[in-house]
């Protein structure tokens, strides 16, 4: 897909996320890998609901911002993930309500924030390791995400007390993964206190094989 089509698609899907309440205020950022090298990233501080291609920031293949709109303060973690996960074509970071609520729970298991109880969570995310809390924009987020992305071949990471980071083959895939995860977190809260039938190891293994 050309740079212009990717820019148009990124803006359209950011608006779609904003319109449905997955992002509010200036929260969240989205990036896409360009075929010619480099990346487009949403600008810092702006709403995801009102972006045009001219508002997008560009990072060159060497990881340096191209003169123009200032990239998200989280672009370092987007780059770190693109570097260690060459199959990822896009990254979505959201403060969506239920995933962020989940990220605020004390004593989350660091290897996986959500034990699987539906198949699409396993197929789209795998599971969801937790990165400790750091202030937004801190370089430690990039460091810890890179380490986690090397150790766990999954598409989603929960940033403690902050939000979620989701990978996908392209922007559409990353957005679909993020939507599925938010819905899974919502279900987890709806089911709190209920006796949940979790998927068993054989069921999870079958789903992981399908997702490959």
Ligand X SMILES: O=C(CO)COP(=O)(O)O
Assess whether 22 carries a catalytic annotation: no
Positions in 129-168 near Zn ion (CB under 5 A) = 163
Min. distance of Cβ 142 from ligand X in angstroms? Answer: 12
Closest residue by beta carbon to ligand X: 72
Give the residues lining the site for ligand X (CB under 6 A): 26-29, 42, 44-45, 72-74, 93, 136
Q: Which two tokens stand for residue 142?
A: 């990039």
Q: Residue 37: count other Cβ atoms within 10 Å of its Cβ.
A: 10
Stated length of the chain: 212
The gap from C-alpha 121 to its chain's centroid, in whole angstroms, comes to 14
**DSSP codes, 112-174:** -SS---SHHHHHHTS---EEPP--TT-HHHHHHHHHHHHH---SEEEETTTEEEEEESSHHHH
The residue (of 49 and 136) whose beta carbon lies closer to ligand X is: 136
Q: Which one of the listed residues 8, 120, 134, 172 is annotated catalytic?
A: 120
Q: Which one of the listed residues 8, 36, 58, 74 is annotated catalytic?
A: 74
The residue (of 116 and 163) whose beta carbon lies closer to ligand X is: 163
Min. distance of Cβ 63 from ligand X in angstroms? Answer: 17
Assess whether 74 carries a catalytic annotation: yes
Q: Which two tokens stand for residue 9?
A: 């698609």
Q: Which two tokens stand for residue 145?
A: 């995400």
Q: Which of 2, 14, 1, 13 is nearest to 43 (CA)?
A: 14
Min. distance of Cβ 183 from ligand X in angstroms? Answer: 20
Quick one: 61 exposed, middle or buried, by C-beta within 10 A (0-12, 13-18, 19+)?
Answer: exposed
Positions in 161-200 near Zn ion (CB under 5 A) = 163
Min. distance of Cβ 74 from ligand X in angstroms? Answer: 5
Question: Cα–Cα distance between 207 and 198 in angstroms, integer?
Answer: 14
Q: Which of Zn ion, ligand X, none interacts with 161 (beta carbon under 5 to 8 A by kind)?
A: none
Positions in 37-76 near Zn ion (CB under 5 A) = none
Q: Which two tokens stand for residue 198?
A: 């979790």
Q: Which of ligand X, Zn ion, none interacts with 72 (beta carbon under 5 to 8 A by kind)?
A: ligand X
Q: Which of Zn ion, ligand X, none interacts with 124 (beta carbon under 5 to 8 A by kind)?
A: none
The residue (of 72 and 155) whose beta carbon lies closer to ligand X is: 72
The catalytic residues are 74, 120
Q: Where on the chain is the footprint of Zn ion (CB under 5 A)?
A: 163
């Amino acid at each position: 897909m050309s740079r212009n089509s990717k820019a148009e698609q990124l803006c359209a899907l950011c608006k779609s996320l904003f319109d449905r309440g997955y992002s509010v205020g200036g929260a969240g950022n989205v990036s896409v890998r360009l075929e010619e090298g480099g990346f487009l990233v949403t600008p810092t501080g702006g709403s995801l609901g009102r972006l045009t291609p001219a508002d997008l920031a560009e990072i060159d293949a060497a990881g340096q911002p191209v003169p123009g709109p200032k990239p998200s303060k989280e672009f370092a973690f987007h780059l770190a993930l693109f570097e260690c996960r060459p199959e990822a074509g896009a990254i979505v970071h959201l403060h969506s309500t239920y995933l962020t609520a989940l990220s605020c729970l004390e004593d989350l298991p660091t290897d996986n924030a959500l034990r699987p109880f539906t198949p699409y969570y396993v197929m789209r995310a795998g599971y969801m390791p937790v990165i400790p809390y750091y202030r937004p924009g801190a370089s430690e987020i990039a460091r810890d995400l890179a380490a986690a992305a090397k150790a766990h071949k999954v598409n989603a990471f929960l940033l403690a007390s902050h939000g979620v980071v989701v990978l996908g083959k392209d922007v559409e895939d990353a957005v679909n993964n993020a939507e599925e995860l938010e819905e899974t977190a919502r279900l987890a809260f709806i089911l709190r206190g209920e006796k949940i039938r979790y998927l068993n190891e054989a069921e999870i293994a079958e789903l992981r094989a399908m997702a490959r």
